[in-house]
Amino acid sequence: MEQFGFTISKPRVINYDANDRKVAGYILENEPSFGLCIECGCCSATCTTGSFTRFSLRELQILLKRGENEKVRDIIDRCMLCGKCILVCPRGVNTRNVVFLARKALKKYNGNEL
């Protein structure tokens, strides 16, 4: 793709050749409800952490599914696992386990265990 270089925002390309969706696969395997998410954003709206800093589970789930794991890595630890998001989720996603597994999977991904 042409990189013109005169825009102010960085070019955003979802590149499945470079992205690795193993992390999302691991989460889906251990928590099937991860696949139910419709990215409605209820979780982000009620989030305890989200009221203090940039943390949106909605965004993180999308990033994970795209395989953009590095963007998730720094942010996912901010979650306090308080569980409000489970109560508001209209799809019944076990969001706490998604976060928990994502942390675990990213650690494993680092150690090439996935």
Site of interaction with other proteins (CB under 8 A):
31-33, 46, 48, 51-53, 77-78, 80-84, 87-88, 92, 94, 96-97, 100
Name the residue type at position 17.
Answer: D
Q: Tell me the three state secondary structure of residue 52.
A: coil
Nearer to other proteins, 19 or 97 (CB): 97
Residue with tokens 């395997």: 29
Name the residue type at position 53.
Answer: T
Nearer to other proteins, 7 or 53 (CB): 53
Nearer to other proteins, 31 or 68 (CB): 31
Read off the tokens for 14: 């979802």
